[in-house]
Chains A and B, each alone.
Chain A
Amino acid sequence: GNSVTQMEGPVTLSEEAFLTINCTYTATGYPSLFWYVQYPGEGLQLLLKATKADDKGSNKGFEATYRKETTSFHLEKGSVQVSDSAVYFCALSDNAGNNRKLIWGLGTSLAVNP
């Protein structure tokens, strides 16, 4: 079945460091891919998405490119801030069948130190 694998955290970085959080997936068909972020004490928010191969999603300085050849959707940011400290979830949506179902990764906790 479909699945999402994220790198394990926690990830700890200093402010202005480069961030990469790896995400790979297994899916049949042509899924859409997402990154959600959960700030402390809050629910999940959609950070960015990509709906087809080679699409690049971007938001708030974060980027991720849908790579079908490597089945990956790695999240990157060139210079992290303390306010980016949160848990990041990679997810896919199977566009066939029940399109409202998301398959989630385990989440990667990011802590950014000043």
Chain B
Amino acid sequence: ETGVTQTPRHLVMGMTNKKSLKCEQHLGHNAMYWYKQSAKKPLELMFVYNFKEQTENNSVPSRFSPECPNSSHLFLHLHTLQPEDSALYLCASSHATSGSYNEQFFGPGTRLTVL
């Protein structure tokens, strides 16, 4: 595998289910990101991890719980979601150095549908 991979690619869940999204990067990066992409809205940054530490949480509801066990893996645990949480969830990674912007590399996303 190369680049950034995400599983599953599609997920349908009920509001009472618990599921997890997985992201893995094979690029040697040490920063990872979760984004939410909804129709007719700008891409929303949800969480940022640098060297396994969470450095950003953009007021995301607690029904979304991220986990970063190492620099290569990122999870998003989901529980008691709402239909408005249906969206494409994108994972990205980059080098995590200070200074100018470091290019983020994106996975293909998980299309989530909450019934």
Residues of A within 8 A of B (CB): 4, 32, 41-46, 49, 51, 89, 93, 95, 98-106
Contacts and interface: CB of A to CB of B under 8 A. Distances in A.
A46 B103 contact: yes
Nearest to A3: B42
Contacts, number: 55
28 contacts: A32-B100, A32-B101, A41-B108, A42-B108, A43-B92, A43-B107, A43-B109, A44-B106, A45-B106, A46-B104, A49-B101, A49-B103, A51-B101, A93-B101, A95-B100, A95-B101, A99-B101, A100-B31, A100-B56, A100-B96, A100-B101, A100-B104, A102-B43, A102-B45, A102-B101, A102-B104, A103-B42, A105-B42
B4 A99 contact: no
Q: Is the interface of B mostly helix, strand, loop or mixed?
A: loop
A104 B48 CA distance: 16
B43 A104 contact: yes
B99 A99 contact: yes
A106 B42 contact: yes
A92 to B, nearest CB: 9
Interface in B49-82: 56
A114 B33 CA distance: 37
Nearest to A41: B108
A44 B106 CA distance: 6
Nearest to B48: A100
A43 B45 contact: no
